[in-house]
Amino acid sequence: MVPARSQAPRSPGTVSPRPEGAKGPWWRWVVFGLCFSLGFGLTQRLSRLGSSSGKEVIPSFSAQDTPGTRLGELQKRFGAEVQSLSGDLDRLAEERRQERQSQEEESRKATQEQRNQERRDAARSEADRARLEALNHGPEPEAPTPEPILLPPLEPAPTPAPDPAATTPPGAAPNPP
């Protein structure tokens, strides 16, 4: 049987005491981690030393040439004459200003052209919509055609009576009127 511990009355806010076995187990893990990392480092160092006589060569950290092209090489390539590096800043600023103005003008023209195209498209779609609506409602009624004006028939002009002599056959007797 386990001896019972006496429970002393506690004031509020006090922490119950820990058992002796549970006090500070974290330091054991720290020691274990340090030992493990030390063993791993030593093993890796020994394996490198043992394999240095083999094919694998550990790169040395010796000084290397700086990357890039040296000044002497550039002088050989482009000539050694001294050229002035000064420039006309006012002229450069004016060129940049003109370039900026031309770009702004081009963007304004492009914007205006886009607006015009949108207007044309809107007008075209409106015309198409009107045509479709007209087709949907059927043909428009035709305008009434005016009735033709009827004129009285023209009477033929009186023809003179034919001369009886001209209408009688030769050798026949003329009819008296």
Contacts of 174 (CB under 8 A, 6+ apart): 164, 165, 168
**CA-CA distance, 8 to 61, in Å (whole number)?**
68
Counting other chains too, the contacts that 131-136 makes at CB distance below 8 Å and 24 or more residues apart are none
Residue 130 contacts residue 140 (beta carbons within 8 Å): no
Could you tell me if residue 116 is inside a domain?
yes
Residue 175 contacts residue 164 (beta carbons within 8 Å): yes
In angstroms, what is the C-alpha Rg of the chain? 61
Could you tell me if residue 125 is inside a domain?
yes
Counting other chains too, the contacts that 93-102 makes at CB distance below 8 Å and 24 or more residues apart are none
Which candidate, 81, 78, 60, 57, places its Cα nearest to that of 69?
78
Could you tell me if residue 122 is inside a domain?
yes
Could you tell me if residue 112 is inside a domain?
yes
Q: What pLDDT was estimated at residue 115?
A: 95
Which candidate, 85, 82, 101, places its Cα nearest to that of 93?
101
Could you tell me if residue 132 is inside a domain?
yes
Q: What pLDDT was estimated at residue 168?
A: 65
Could you tell me if residue 38 is inside a domain?
no
Residue with tokens 């187990």: 25
Domain count across the chain: 1
Q: What pLDDT was estimated at residue 62?
A: 77
Q: Which structural domain range is residue 105 located in?
A: 90-136
Could you tell me if residue 98 is inside a domain?
yes
Residue 173 has φ and ψ, to the nearest 5°, of: -85, 135
Q: What pLDDT was estimated at residue 20?
A: 59
Could you tell me if residue 63 is inside a domain?
no
* pLDDT per residue of the chain (177 residues) written in tens, 0 to 9: 555 555 555 566 666 665 555 566 788 899 999 999 999 999 998 888 876 555 556 666 777 778 888 888 888 888 877 777 777 888 899 999 999 999 999 999 999 999 999 999 999 999 999 888 888 776 666 777 878 887 777 777 777 666 666 666 666 666 655
Which candidate, 109, 131, 113, places its Cα nearest to that of 121?
113
Taking every pair of Cα atoms in the chain, the longest distance, rounded to a whole number of angstroms, is: 185
Which candidate, 1, 41, 5, places its Cα nearest to that of 20?
5
